[in-house]
Amino acid sequence: MQYEKLPDGTQIPVLGLGTWQMGGGSSADYSRDDEMVGIIEQAVDMGYTHLDTAEVYGKNHCEELVGRAMKAFNRGDLFITTKVSPDHATYDGVHNAIQGSLKRLDTDYVDLYLIHWPSKDIPQSETFRAMNELVADGRVRRVGVSNYNVEQMQEAIDLCDTAIATNQVRYNLLDRKVVQNGVLGFCREQSIPLTAYSPVKGGVLEHAAVQVMARARGVSPAQIAIRWLIQQPGVITIPMSQDLKHLRDNIAALSFELSPEEMERLDNAGIGD
């Protein structure tokens, strides 16, 4: 595995496992529980020691599946990220939410706790009053944000007693809003790693530049798309898959490097190329 350094000096894997839709999407699905737990366990065995989940995934059920899978491993070998919904961003809501997540994950702490989306109604000062307490009492090791713009990130930095660990945002070869709106640049200025979700979504795998480069190298389009992300300074990614073949394929992106010329070619690739 390759690692990126968090602001507190902790090494985080550049490639993690996204678990959205394991155990359901917007509602719980119990029909494939044993299969999903087995997939998560096999993914960890492959090297996916960073597991990313959220309380809203499967309406809480995804956290339960991650918790079951964690039992097969030493807790200290895993980096667990979960997220609090903006609906629970009040002071009491955050405290109640983390207790629910810890119970479902069956653990005493999470390595990283993210605010899933900025709340439109609840001031960040109230949210971070609770988040700071969670770090102080050890239930949360690090705090981060997700889907934040630069202004929201700056406010979070000002309110957080500890360093903001990451901003988790949608970012891939064809979706570069975080470049255009300055989020990626701001994260780099602040030495905050950016976590890219949906790294192969939105037509990325069908893009001509990705297809051509994959054929020339004898690798998959997904490996090219993931490698382009994790080879950038300060970027990690959390591809989601329930397919063991895809999981093995994705993690193989760690086994090669793109040349400066290839990186530039992909940097210059865009929708419609």
**Which residues are known to be catalytic?**
57
Who contacts 56 (Cβ-Cβ below 8 Å, separation ≥6)? Answer: 26, 83, 85, 116
Greatest pairwise CA separation for the chain in angstroms: 55
Which residues in 225-237 are b (16+ Cβ under 10 Å) and which e?
A: bbbbbbbbebbbb
Number of residues that make up the chain: 273
Query: What is the β-pairing status of strands 3-5 and 11-13?
Result: antiparallel
Q: How far apart are alpha carbons 6 and 47 in whole angstroms?
A: 19
Cα→Cα distances 97→100, 103, 132, 140, 244, Å: 5, 10, 14, 12, 31
| Six-digit token string for 66 | 């991650």
Q: How far apart are alpha carbons 174 and 225 in whole angstroms?
A: 10
**237: β partners:** 15, 196
